[in-house]
Amino acid sequence: MNVRLGPDLELIQLPRSPDLGDYDWFDLEQAGTQVGKARCRIEPGQFTVFSIMIYPEYEGHGHARAVIGHFQREHALIVADRVRFQARAFWVKLGFVAESLDRYVWRRSAPQTFSQ
């Protein structure tokens, strides 16, 4: 699966492989150059992010935010597992709530219905 996140930013889901463990890996490319990657697990009803890494020379351009934004559009429940202390503010800014010191959760809000 390849998803265009911006004019020259593309998220590429790699095929599952026993060599890569029990994870779903995503490469992030900008104009054909790999600028980061994410290690996740897609399960029925839950999407877990174990790590997202943007290479240092490409940090600060909103790439990680674009990747997580895409995941939020595609999944109703996302768990950020093993969150480092330095990354907590990032997850909170994106609407995640701490369940423990290193586990943050985002749930899509149910559409509100109004009765008269």
Q: Where do the domains of the chain lie?
A: 2-107
Indicate the pLDDT class of residue 115, thresholds 50, 70 and 90.
Answer: low
Q: Taking Cα atoms as reference points, which of 78, 91, 15 lies closest to residue 48?
A: 78
Residues 21-61: tens digit of each pLDDT = 889 999 999 999 999 999 999 999 999 999 999 999 999 99
Residues 54-105: tens digit of each pLDDT = 999 999 999 999 999 999 999 999 999 999 999 999 999 999 999 999 999 9
What CATH number should be reported for the domain whose range is 2-107?
A: 3.40.630.30
> Which tokens sit at 70?
């895409």
**Are the beta carbons of 30 and 63 closer than 8 angstroms?**
yes
CA–CA gap between residue 21 and residue 107 (Å, rounded): 26
CA–CA gap between residue 82 and residue 51 (Å, rounded): 8
Determine how β-strand 77-81 pairs with β-strand 46-54: parallel
